[in-house]
Each structure stands twice: as C-alpha cells, then as structure tokens.
Amino acid sequence: MIRRVITLVAGLAAMPALAAEGFRFASIDGGEIDLDEWRGKPVLVVNTASLCGYAGQFDALQALHERFGDRALILAVPSDDFNQELADEAAVKEYCTLTFDLTLPMTEITHVKGKDAHPFYAWLRDKTGFVPGWNFNKVLIAPDGSIAGTFGAPVKPEGPQIAGRIEAMLE
C-alpha cells in the first residue's frame, strides 16, 4: 500500500507544467483566447460538440463560468472530430446561445486529436498521452500551470472532481 502511495505521489510530481506561451485559440467571437493571460488561475478546457448526447453539460459549464467569473477560465472548444458538431461557427454560436444561454468563452471549431490537433492538444498528447476519446473530455490546469487532471465525458463539470478542485485552487 505504501509503495502505491509513493508511486502515485511521484507520478503526480512528474506531471508536466503547462507551457502556456503560444497556446492561443481563435475565438468564436473573433480575436484570440490566450491561455497565458490566465496564468495563476485555474483553467478548464473542454472539447465540445453541439449535437452530442453530453451537450447538456453546457449548462454546468455556464454555471461554472458564472460562479467563478474572472477567477478561472472555463473554455469550450467546439470540435467536429467525432462528427457531432454543426457546420460552422455561426451555427455553433447561435445554437449554444439559444439553447443554453451560453456566454462562456468559446473557440472556433478546432481539431483536438490527430495530425491536425490544435497545438494545446498536441502538447497535451505528447506530454501526458491524453487524447480526447469523445466530446466533453475535460482538462484542468492548476494555477501553477500543472495539469491537475484529465477527465472523460461522463465526469460532470459541477462535481467534486472538477468544480470542487477549482474551488480548492481558489482558496
């Protein structure tokens, strides 16, 4: 048991820090979302898809955005890598605004896996082996830039694994 705990602690200590310089996403509203501007704050990056069965999680992501305000970044990254996103950014923006009253930051439709993956996701894959296996996979970056966790679609944003960790990071 002690050996497992030591291995777990060593593994967590070895998690790579986020080299946020250069990780910019094209915003669905125009301009850029620069992760470097959020240095020192928690960042939750979620690959999303409007037509996915997990799209109900948009409500929870919006609630986190409202709850944490400018103390944490909740970033939706629409992707059609799993063939469940609308045809273009205008359709995504309209759907998410009308259906979920979404105001949280969103990127343009972005690749999250494969050879065309956004540099953030390519870096994440290269450093940790994590590649989104479906829509609504989540990556939590701690204020110190370390990767606090990666989560699959079933993990609810409002639960203790994500919202609870963000709250603890802000204390």
Active site members: 52
Q: What are phi and psi of 129, to 5 degrees?
A: 85, -5
Task: Tell me which residue has tokens 């103390």.
Answer: 71
Contacts of 16 (CB under 8 A, 6+ apart): 127, 128, 146, 147
Hey, what amino acid is at 25? F
